[in-house]
Every structure is written in structure tokens, then in C-alpha cells.
Structure 1
Amino acid sequence: MRVKCVICDTIESIEDHLPSAKKLRNRPIHTYMCDECRARITEKTEKRVNTGQFFVYRSGKQKEWL
């Protein structure tokens, strides 16, 4: 299955039998993100969490993430 990263628009091939391919096929709302973009976002999020100024707001209450 050919997929396109939503951030950097690179086109990659993934196996048809993988769970991520099934999600993309059956639920078009799911999007694909390449490993490089996923690693970059994870790294930047971890840096923000480590500053102590990163909060996730859910159901109207302020909660600290991790």
C-alpha cells in the first residue's frame, strides 16, 4: 500500500497486512505520518514536557502531562 505523510508529503510503501494499513483503508480519518516526522514531533514534545510549562487541557480541568 502506498501512503503519503501528512506533514512532509513523502510517499512510502507499507505492507497491506499491517494494522496501520488496515486502519488507513477502513477509516479514512486516520492519517499516516512517516517515522522521521513522528520522531521529530516526539523529541520536541518531550523537550516541552521537560520544561514544566506543558499542560494538557481536558474536560475543562488543568492536568499536567507526565
Structure 2
Amino acid sequence: MRVQCVLCDQLSQLEDDSSLAKKLRNRPIHTYMCPSCHDRIKAKTEARLASGSFQLYSYNTQDDDF
């Protein structure tokens, strides 16, 4: 299966029987990101978390006010 990275537009080849290929085929909302882009984003996110100025906000589905 041929896939294209959503960030750098690099074309890659996945095996048809791999779990990632099946996920991309069955759920079209999922997108493919090449390993180099994935590692780059992971490193930058870890650097932001280590800086201390990054604050993660979580979405609360239950309102405690009511």
C-alpha cells in the first residue's frame, strides 16, 4: 500500500497485511506520518514538556458546577 506523509509529502510503501495499513484503509480519518516526522514532533514535544512552561489542558466532560 502506498501512503503519503501529511507533513512532508514523502511517499512510503507499507505492507498490505500490516496493522497500520488496515487502520488507514478502514478508517479514512486517520492519516499517515513518516517515522522521521513522527520522531521530530516527539522530540519537540518532549522538549516543550521539559521546559516547564508547557501546560496541558484536559477537556472535562462533566461540569462540577451544576
**Interval of TM-score (by shorter of Structure 1 and Structure 2):** 0.7 to 0.9
1:10 aligned partner: 10
> What fraction of aligned residue pairs are identical, expressed as a percent?
55
Alignment of 1:1-66 (within 5 A): 1-59=1-59
Pick 1 or 2: higher relative contact order, CA cutoff 8 A, min separation 6. Answer: 2
Q: List alignment gaps of at least 5 residues for structure 2.
A: 61-66
Runs of 4+ in 1 over 4 A off after TM superposition: none
TM-aligned CA deviation for residue 29 of structure 1: 0.2
> Over aligned residue pairs, what C-alpha RMSD do you find?
0.9
TM-aligned CA deviation for residue 18 of structure 1: 0.8
More strand by share: 1
Q: List alignment gaps of at least 5 residues for structure 1.
A: 61-66
Q: Secondary structure at the match of 1:58?
A: coil
Structure number with greater Rg is 2
Alignment TM-score, normalising by the size of structure 2: 0.86
Q: Secondary structure at the match of 2:56?
A: strand
